[in-house]
Amino acid sequence: MSEATVSVTLHQQQDYRFEIRFDDTMPVLVCDEPPPLGSGQGPSPVQLLCASVGNCLSDSLLFALRKFKQAPEPISCTVQAEVGRNPEGRLRVLKLGARLQLGVKAAALEHLERVLGQFDAFCTVTQSIGQGIPVTVEVFDVTGALLKSSTT
């Protein structure tokens, strides 16, 4: 991603449900808080945060492997947010955990150790969020073998 200003526009539809517009070429996304605050008619802000981290990590891993002409597909990623109270009693995202899985065995990928040692350092979203919220990143191959575990 190049240096730029990124902008989205939110418009309230009803209560805690907002439509999010990215630009004229992308579909509108509806976001909502879960019950009892909202009606759960779209992903919550915390779910969007998780999606942003997972998408950025997956993109970074794929990009790093493709630089070496490797085919790790299909990559999957699950991100969990631990939400709890801070010392002032306010709800906060306390930590995030990302679990990436390659679609192939580790042995099938060349330069994997080098890629795993640096791909997440290039993840704009995760590195930015990691300055305030601990983010654990784990990478597994298709057999379930743990290849990397780190906390940002």
> Domain 45-151 - what CATH class?
alpha beta
3-state secondary structure at position 150: strand
pLDDT tens digit sequence for 38-78: 999 999 999 999 999 999 999 999 999 999 999 999 999 99
Q: How would you classify residue 69: left for phi > 0, otherwise alpha for psi between -120 and 50, otherwise beta?
A: left
Taking the model in full, what pTM does it have? 0.93
pLDDT tens digit sequence for 128-150: 999 999 999 999 999 999 999 99
Please state the domain extents for the chain.
1-43, 45-151
CA distances from 96 to 18, 20, 57, 136, 151 (A): 24, 24, 13, 6, 9
Q: How would you classify residue 15: left for phi > 0, otherwise alpha for psi between -120 and 50, otherwise beta?
A: left
Please say whether the beta carbons of 82 and 95 come within 8 A.
Answer: yes
